[in-house]
Amino acid sequence: MGYYITGDCHAHFDKLIWLARFNKKLGKEDVIILLGDVGLNYFGADKDRENKKILADFPNYFLCIHGNHEERPYHIQTYRTQIWRGGEVYYEPEFPNILFAKDGEIYDFDGKKAIAIGGAYSRDKEYRLLTGLPWFQDEQPDDKVKSQVENRLNEVDWKVDYVFSHTCPLVYRPNRRNEECQEKIDLSTEEWMDKIAKKLDYSQWYFGHYHDNIQYMDAQLLYEEIKELGEPDSVQKVGRPRYRVGETVYFTYGKENAREGYGTVEWVDDYGTLGQEKEVSYDIVGIPCELPGEKTLFKHIRESKIQSIDEMEIVRIEREEG
């Protein structure tokens, strides 16, 4: 059996379909963890039911964390509860492979313990209210939910292997320099999670919400990227290319990626093109570091083996200033 984890879907399930079609033969014992804003309890009964039918066709289980763009399952009459992998989950009899985690519950993945902590503040709250789109008053964990989480952690002496959440502690929150109306954003959930992170003994904190893919030392922000639970490398990363044509990059290539080069992105092999089933790749016109006079075309360099020269310069400056 396999355990896989990824970020927000917002009812766009292409990455999951791609995973099942090209990269993993999923079975009934496999689990895919979706870190909130799945797109199943947001639009209303008919639309939500059509989306659930898509995931119901998969053979595996889905464990969904509560996001800020979905109704809490206990407000929906069709949901029931059951014990699954040691913790309580919400499910609908019509879609028994689609499970929603209950905040504060701990689930067992072959001896590894994971606690679920859902919810987040919606930056688009005012827009949704203005345009008549759904907004849910209890999108963030309230005092009762927070107590449930903390009491459960007390029972396990504040030690788990993984945390599954939608938003994250402040320490992991991505730099939001371009975020407008900063003073209107409620960060109380992130501040509470920050206190938990400082006290909790854990290996990896997985979260979504911020629509990006960032690897930290002990946390992972996931969006398009799909990883195997507990593993650092991607199972699949398709979708939005990180680098653009004309951008200057450093990259590794060759056997065991032992050789280095630098050059300019000439072509982007985007989602699903030219056999790029696992991640975006690039054609780069560049120079091998060991042969600085020989310019050549490097084909299908995987995104995970590339770094922007500008990014490297920013890191260098920050280290010197720090």
Could you identify the residue written with the tokens 């059996």? 1
Is the separation of the CB atoms in 229 and 5 below 8 Å?
A: yes
Q: What is the pLDDT of residue 106?
A: 98
Question: Is 252 exposed, middle or buried (CB count within 10 Å of its CB: 0-12, 13-18, 19+)?
Answer: middle
Tokens of 130: 């203005």
Three-state secondary structure call for residue 243: coil
Per-residue pLDDT at 254:
85
Q: pLDDT tens across 51-82, in order? A: 999 999 999 999 999 999 999 999 999 999 99
Q: pTM for the full model?
A: 0.81
Sign of CA dihedral 289, 295, 296, 299: positive
- pLDDT at site 318: 47
pLDDT averaged over 10-residue windows placed end to end, the chain, 322 residues: 94 91 90 96 89 96 96 94 98 97 97 97 88 91 96 97 97 69 78 97 97 91 94 82 88 86 86 62 89 83 86 53 53
Per-residue confidence (pLDDT) for residue 130, from 0 to 100: 85
pLDDT at position 315: 46
How far, in Å, CA of 82 to CA of 92, rounded? 10
What sign results for the dihedral spanned by CA atoms 45, 46, 47, 48?
positive
Alpha helices (H) along the chain = 14-18, 45-56, 125-131, 143-155, 188-199, 309-321
Closest CA to 192 of 161, 147, 138: 147
Which pLDDT score, from 0 to 100, does residue 278 have?
72
Render pLDDT for 134-154 as a digit per residue (tens, 0 to 9). Answer: 899 999 999 999 999 999 999
Residue 242: strand, helix, or coil: coil
